[in-house]
Amino acid sequence: MKKSLLLLFVMAAFTLMSCSATSTHNESQSSAPAQTETKNNTAMTQVRLETSLGDIVVKLYNETPQHRDNFIKLVKQGYYDGVLFHRVIKDFMIQTGDGNSKTAGPNTMLGDGDPGYTIEAEFVYPKYFHKRGALAAARTGDQVNPERRSSGSQFYIVTGKIYGSDELKMMTQRMEQMHKQEIFRRLVNENRQRIEELQRAQDNAGLQTVQNELVQLTEAEAAQNPFSMTDEQLNAYTSVGGTPHLDGQYTVFGEVVSGMDVVDKIQNVETGAADRPINDVKIIKATIIE
C-alpha cells in the first residue's frame, strides 16, 4: 500500500501546477444556478418517468437538497421529456439525462450533453449507497473533476448484481485501499502550496520529506477511521444486489419506489457501440407526483 501511495504522490505532485491554473476558471463556469425549491423534512418528492417500456417512479432524498431541487427544476422545465437512455450496461446501471439525445441519430455518440453547469457533491454515505434501485448522479472522472461534482442533468439507476460474502469481503478490502488513496489525495491537495514551492525550487529532498510525512499521516488517519460496510450495506449487497464499488464516489440522491421491472426491461435490451441501445429507449415524459 505504501508503494501505491508513493506513486500517487509523484503523479499528484507532477500535475499540481498545471491543474491549479485552470481550477478556478472551471469552477466559475460549472456552478449550478441557485435553487428556489423548498421541502419539509419528512415528505419526499416523487417523480414519474414515463418511458417507452413502462413507468418508473423515483423518490428524491431531502438530505441531498441541491440534487433534489435541480432534478425538480429540470422536470418542471420538461428537460427530461424525450431524452434517451444512452448508456445501458446489464447488471450495472441504466443512464440517461443527456439533453443532446433528444434529436440524436442512430450513430451519434452521446454522453456529453448537460445544462451547462455541475452540482456540488452531496455524499450521504453510508446511509445512502448503491443498492439495486438507487438513483445517482453521473459525473466526469476524478482526473478532471477531483471534487466529484455531479452532472447538471445526467443520472443513472443502479441494477447491479448480488454478491457472495467472500466476494464482498474481497471487494471491501479493495475499497479499504481506495479509502487510503482518498485520504492521501486530500492531504496532497491540502499541502498544494508547499509542494509547488518545493517543485519550483527543485528541492527533491524536501519533496521526499513531504512524501514520507503524508504517507505516515495517511496510515494514521486510516487506522483511526477504518473503512467498513454497514450491516445494511452487507445485507443489501448479498440479497438484492447493487454496485458497491461506486459507494462514496458518486452522489446517491434517490431511489426507485416502483417500476424496477421496467428498469430490468431496459437493462436487458440489446446494445451497440458505447453501450447505447440499438433500438432507442426514451423518457417520454417526467412528471412530479403531487
pLDDT digits (tens, 9 = 90+) for 22-34: 333 333 344 555 4
152 and 273 share one domain = yes
Q: Would residue 234 count as lying in a domain?
A: no
155 and 177 share one domain = no
Final residue belonging to a domain, choices 175, 196, 224? 224
Model confidence band, residue 130 (pLDDT cutoffs 50, 70, 90): very high
105 and 156 share one domain = yes
With contact defined as beta carbons under 8 Å apart, do 276 and 86 qualify?
yes
171 and 153 share one domain = no
pLDDT digits (tens, 9 = 90+) for 148-206: 999 999 999 999 999 998 888 888 888 888 888 888 988 998 999 999 999 999 999 99
Q: Would residue 277 count as lying in a domain?
A: yes
Quick one: cell of 193? Answer: 502550496
82 and 207 share one domain = no
Question: What 3-state class would DSSP assign to 219?
Answer: helix
24 and 45 share one domain = no
65 and 124 share one domain = yes
80 and 115 share one domain = yes
pLDDT digits (tens, 9 = 90+) for 7-51: 555 555 544 433 433 333 333 344 555 444 444 457 999 999 999
- The confidence score (pLDDT) of residue 41 equals 58
Quick one: cell of 46? Answer: 416523487
Q: How crowded is residue 34: how many other Cβ atoms within 10 Å of its Cβ?
A: 7
Domain residue limits at 174: 2-28+166-224
Final residue belonging to a domain, choices 177, 198, 224? 224
Quick one: cell of 83? Answer: 431524452
Number of domains in the chain: 2
With contact defined as beta carbons under 8 Å apart, do 118 and 30 qualify?
yes
Q: Would residue 235 count as lying in a domain?
A: no
Q: Would residue 233 count as lying in a domain?
A: no
DSSP, res 46: E
Specify the pTM: 0.80
- Which secondary structure element, helix H or strand E, spans residue 259, and what is its range? none
Q: State whether the Cα torsion 145-149-152-158 is positive or negative.
A: positive
270 and 220 share one domain = no
Higher pLDDT, 244 or 146: 244
104 and 133 share one domain = yes
95 and 54 share one domain = yes
Q: Using alpha carbons, select from 286, 252, 263 the residue that is nearest to residue 68.
A: 252
84 and 128 share one domain = yes
pLDDT digits (tens, 9 = 90+) for 224-236: 877 778 999 999 9
CATH code at position 149: 2.40.100.10
